[in-house]
Structure 1
Amino acid sequence: MRKVVLLIVIAVVSIACKNEAKKEVVQKETISEKYPKALAAVFDKHGGIDNWQKMKTLSYTLKNEEHTTDLHSRKTVINAKEYSLGFDGKDVWVSDTSVYKKDAKFYYNLYFYFYTMPFVLADDGIVYSETKPLEFEGKKYPGFKISYNENVGSSPDDNYFIYYDETTNEMSWLAYTVTYHSKKVSNKKSIIRYNDWQNVNGFLLPKSLTWYKKHENGNPTEPAREPTKFVLPLLSEASFDADFYVKPTK
């Protein structure tokens, strides 16, 4: 039902935007001044940071769950047949803890970060540094290490490593470490391949992601499991009222 509501909101806002387009003057920031030049080129290839920042609502279906996120506040709702969970801007909530028994605080934005690569790597509080290229099937992919300033997010000691195709500027791989549960700095990296893209309202977003096994030298070798697929993606300049992200009363 919420997907239908989102579609209606998108249609209304699209008409309004067309009517106001001639009146609006957009002041663009030169992203090369804020991000490393090569990373800025990756952002541009995928639709551009300036354009991304105009978007307000993202929705997609993952397995049996419908995920909806406010891109500015990061409020989230995940709806499934037997449960729902979300983040209302202050607290993470679960509709029925007898049905959903996983760690909602860890899960509610987990796939949001993977799905919104590379744009989520333009968040505030990020420190960029070059890292050793990743190699797969004889091809090298240059990359950047993404670390966070203290007190940024729930796991500021997490690190991401983005690798890109220097010919096309498309994002190709993501390596990452997880410190959420242990709260200890980790050097153990997981690797995801990004090679299945689709155009969503002018942006290149992943249609599927594939986790890979890796060699002892850290380079990927072969898929670790079946791809994780994202379907029915919607991206809009429309936004929902705050009540949309509040825990249901029944």
Structure 2
Amino acid sequence: MKYFLMFLCLLLISCNQSSKENPGTSNLNSYELSLTEAKAFVHSIEEAHNKEDWDKEEIVSFDIQLLMGGEERLKARIYTFTNSSKIRVDKKDGSSLIFDGKRVFQSPAAAPVNGARFDMFTWQYFFAFPFKLSDKGTNWELKEKETMKDISFPKAKLTFDATTGDAPDDWYILYKEPKSNLLYAAAYIVTLNTKKEIAEEEPHAIVYHDYELFKNIPIATRWTFHHWNDTEGIGEQIGEAKIENIEFPTLKRNFFEAPDDSREIELN
């Protein structure tokens, strides 16, 4: 009886200590616990990327050279508010795309419109991705880890509320580097001008490489694009982007206003 009472006391002490080390978890059901773990996944990436300092900056700009299938798809300088509220894309051909916070314009008005909506938002979003994970309207689900090259990568799926952004039917599956917590890759679909079911037949992935510090903020300076599927994961490379001349400039407010020689691009 004496030994049983000693065992009971030790058990109670252990349970109490566990409760102190993990406050608030004892009363969570499995769904709530999964949600909490997903939020921890997001927070760890934001912390690794120093989102706190990113949010202190107003504007960031960078050069992008995008190659797809060995051919240059885009060469431009992109300017964006760090909260993505306004964006400007100055292409090497002299044309520009401007998002003033509500509408998208193209200048000059006679410039070809092909791919304007895609170029306006996609590359800026991929660049700012690690800092947008807890934006309003984002929903998270923790996924099973995936092993690549003997490394086990934590994963989570990002979906959006129906009224969020330009393409709320898009989804992403994020891979996190297990040691640094930096964003390693993201599988994604593009529902622009197509149905979600069709887009899901051909998902792709972006992998982030060559992180460098800019004002103590880690930013990937090379991206690679790949085929992807839920069974085999990240597959053959199909494209690449180089990111250079990253700066946090001070610009006049009218820099993100449409010039006289421009026309509005419909988003829908």
- Aligned residue type for 2:42: L
SS in 2 for 1:121: coil
The answer on 1:180 being equivalent to 2:192 is yes
TM-score calculated relative to the size of structure 2: 0.72
SS in 1 for 2:85: coil
Tell me the C-alpha RMSD between the 2 structures.
2.4
SS in 1 for 2:178: coil
Partner of 2:21: none
- Cα distance, 1:175–1:212 mapped onto 2, change above 3 Å: same
TM-score calculated relative to the size of structure 1: 0.77
- Cα distance, 1:82–1:192 mapped onto 2, change above 3 Å: same
The percentage of aligned residue pairs carrying the same residue is 22
- Aligned residue type for 2:40: K
Greater strand percent: which structure?
2
SS in 1 for 2:41: helix
Could you tell me which runs of 5 or more consecutive residues in structure 2 were left unpaired when the two chains were aligned: 1-35, 66-74, 262-268
The CA deviation at 1:190 is 0.7
The answer on 1:202 being equivalent to 2:216 is yes
Per-residue Cα deviation, 1:91-120 (whole angstroms, up to 9, x for no partner): 111113543332322220110111112112
- Aligned residue type for 1:189: P
- Cα distance, 1:158–1:90 mapped onto 2, change above 3 Å: same
- Cα distance, 1:145–1:239 mapped onto 2, change above 3 Å: farther
2:182 to 160, 170, 185: 170
Contact 1:135 1:220 survives alignment (8 Å): no
2:129 to 97, 117, 121: 117
The answer on 1:72 being equivalent to 2:83 is yes
Could you tell me which runs of 5 or more consecutive residues in structure 1 were left unpaired when the two chains were aligned: 1-32
* CA distance in structure 1 between the partners assigned to 2:78 and 2:230 by the alignment: 35
* CA distance in structure 2 between the partners assigned to 1:215 and 1:75 by the alignment: 33
Per-residue Cα deviation, 1:26-75 (whole angstroms, up to 9, x for no partner): xxxxxxx897113212211111x332221210100113311101223521
The answer on 1:212 being equivalent to 2:217 is no
Instruction: Please identify the structure whose Cα radius of gyration is greater.
Output: 2
* CA distance in structure 2 between the partners assigned to 1:133 and 1:98 by the alignment: 49
Which stretches of structure 1, 4 residues or more, deviate above 4 A after TM superposition?
A: none
The answer on 1:224 being equivalent to 2:235 is no
* CA distance in structure 1 between the partners assigned to 2:241 and 2:84 by the alignment: 26
The CA deviation at 1:138 is 3.1
Per-residue Cα deviation, 1:109-146 (whole angstroms, up to 9, x for no partner): 11011111211222111111102333322322111111
Pairs within 5 Å for 1:78-89: 78-80=89-91, 81-89=93-101
2:246 to 230, 233, 238: 233
Greater helix percent: which structure?
2
